C-alpha cells in the first residue's frame, strides 16, 4: 500500500483530511483545522484529568452552571480551554456550551461557517473518584438555509443537520470517536507522540449486546413500560441481560458502541423531560450510534432523536439508544 494510503499511525487530522479529499475534494481544510481545535483542547484536558489531584482542580468550583448543577473546578477549566482553542478558529462562527447560558458569537462575518456545541466535561460529578468522564461535541453549519448567523436560529437546528459529532472519553485510555456522516472512527491518544492515532475505522455496533444501562434507582417513577422491560430483562427468557451503568454518558455510550446493548434515560419524577440535553449530549451521541448502525429514539413512539425540532439551547430529552435489537426490545414494552 503506498505511503499515501497507509492507515498505520494515521492521526485524526490526517484522517479528516483523507475523508475530506475522498468526500469533498474541493474542501478548504477549514473543517479539519476546526477539529484540530477540539483535539488540542482534549489533550490539555486529558492531561489535567490524569493529574487531577496535583493541580488542586478537584472538587467543586463553588458556583453553579446554567443547569443549577454544582460546577466542578475541572468543568470550568475544560470549558475555558475549549472556548479559547475554538474561539481562535476563523471557521467558527458560534460556540455553545453546557456551561454558558447563551451562545458565544465569535467570527461572524469573518468567514465563520460552523456552530460548535459541547459539553466540556460530561460526568464531572464522578471526577473526584477517578470514574471516566468525557467531552461531547456537535458541529452544525450556520450559513445555510438563510440562518441568521448569531441568532438562536443558527444554533437551534435538528440533530439531522449535524455535519459532525463525537466525543473524547478520558478513561483508562483517552479515546476519541468522531463521525462526519461517513461512519464512526476511533482514535487513541498516544502520549509518546502527543497525537490521537487511528485504532478502528467504520465501527459497527453489535446488533444485540444483552446489556441494559439505566439508573434503576429512578425506576419507581419510570413510565410503566420501562419497568416491564426491566422485569423481562432479568428473566431467564431474556438471557438474562447484564446491567452496566457508570453514570457518565460518554463511558456508557462508548461501552454500548463497542459491546452493544441499550442505554436509556426515561422521564422521571425529578426529570419529567428526561435529564440529558438534546443539543450537546443526545444529538451527537445519536449521530454516532446511528452512523455505527444503531438506533436512537426519544421513547416508545420511535421518534428519532435527530428529528427533534429544538426549542431552546439547554432543553432536555428522554432517550433510548444502542443496538437495534436491544432498543427495539425496550420500545416493544413501551
Answer for which of 181, 240, 247, 272 binds ligand P6P (CB under 6 A) is 247
Instruction: Specify the residue, 112 or 123, whose C-beta has the smaller distance to ligand P6P.
Output: 123
Site for ligand P6P contains 215 (CB under 6 A) = yes
Contact letters for ligand P6P, residues 248-287 (x by CB under 6 A): xx--x----------------------x------------
Site for ligand P6P contains 316 (CB under 6 A) = no
Q: Stretches 75-83, 155-163, 199-207, 247-255: which one binds ligand P6P (CB under 6 A)?
A: 247-255
Site for ligand P6P contains 290 (CB under 6 A) = no
Indicate the DSSP class of residue 282: I
Beta-strand ranges (E) seen in the chain are 60-64, 70-72, 92-97, 104-105, 114-122, 133-141, 164-170, 174-179, 184-190, 195-200, 211-213, 242-243, 262-265, 295-297, 319-322
CB-based contacts of 163: which residues, under 8 Å, 6+ apart?
Answer: 31, 114, 139, 140, 141, 180, 181
Which grid cell is 151?
441568532
Which grid cell is 81?
480551554
Contact letters for ligand P6P, residues 64-103 (x by CB under 6 A): ----------------------------------------
Region for 131 from its dihedrals, namely left if φ exceeds 0, alpha if ψ lies in -120 to 50, beta otherwise: beta
Q: 152 near 103, Cβ under 8 Å?
A: yes
Contact letters for ligand P6P, residues 123-162 (x by CB under 6 A): x-x-------------------------------------
Q: Which residues bind ligand P6P (CB under 6 A)?
A: 122-123, 125, 215, 247-249, 252, 275
Amino acid at each position: 500500500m503506498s505511503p499515501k494510503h497507509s492507515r498505520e499511525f494515521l492521526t485524526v487530522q490526517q484522517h479528516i483530511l483523507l475523508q475530506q479529499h475522498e468526500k469533498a475534494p474541493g474542501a478548504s481544510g477549514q473543517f479539519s483545522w476546526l477539529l484540530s481545535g477540539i483535539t488540542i483542547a482534549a489533550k490539555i484536558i486529558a492531561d489535567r484529568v490524569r493529574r487531577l489531584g496535583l493541580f488542586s482542580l478537584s472538587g467543586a468550583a463553588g458556583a453553579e452552571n446554567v443547569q443549577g448543577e454544582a460546577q466542578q473546578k475541572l468543568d470550568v477549566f475544560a470549558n475555558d480551554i475549549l472556548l479559547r482553542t475554538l474561539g481562535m478558529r476563523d471557521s467558527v462562527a458560534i460556540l455553545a456550551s453546557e456551561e454558558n447560558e447563551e451562545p458565544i458569537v465569535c467570527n461572524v462575518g469573518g468567514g465563520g461557517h460552523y456552530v460548535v456545541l459541547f459539553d466540556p466535561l460530561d460526568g464531572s460529578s464522578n471526577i473526584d473518584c477517578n470514574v471516566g468522564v468525557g467531552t461531547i461535541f456537535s458541529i452544525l453549519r450556520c450559513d445555510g438555509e438563510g440562518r441568521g448567523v448569531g441568532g438562536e436560529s443558527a444554533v437551534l437546528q435538528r440533530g439531522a443537520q449535524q455535519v459532525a459529532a463525537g466525543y473524547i472519553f478520558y478513561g483508562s485510555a483517552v479515546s476519541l470517536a468522531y463521525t462526519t456522516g461517513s461512519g464512526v472512527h476511533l482514535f487513541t491518544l498516544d502520549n509518546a507522540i502527543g497525537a490521537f492515532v487511528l485504532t478502528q475505522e467504520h465501527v459497527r455496533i453489535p446488533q444485540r449486546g444483552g446489556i441494559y444501562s439505566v439508573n434503576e434507582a429512578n425506576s419507581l417513577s419510570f413510565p410503566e413500560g420501562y419497568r416491564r422491560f426491566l422485569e423481562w430483562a432479568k428473566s431467564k427468557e431474556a438471557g438474562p441481560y447484564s446491567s452496566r451503568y457508570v453514570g457518565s454518558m460518554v463511558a456508557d455510550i462508548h461501552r454500548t458502541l463497542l459491546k452493544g446493548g441499550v442505554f436509556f434515560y426515561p422521564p422521571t419524577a425529578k426529570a419529567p423531560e428526561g435529564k440529558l440535553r438534546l443539543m450537546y449530549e443526545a444529538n451527537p451521541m445519536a449521530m454516532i450510534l446511528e452512523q455505527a448502525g444503531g438506533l436512537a429514539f426519544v421513547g416508545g413512539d420511535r421518534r428519532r432523536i435527530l428529528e427533534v425540532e429544538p426549542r431552546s439551547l439547554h432543553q432536555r430529552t428522554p432517550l433510548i439508544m444502542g443496538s437495534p435489537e436491544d432498543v427495539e426490545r425496550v420500545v416493544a414494552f413501551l
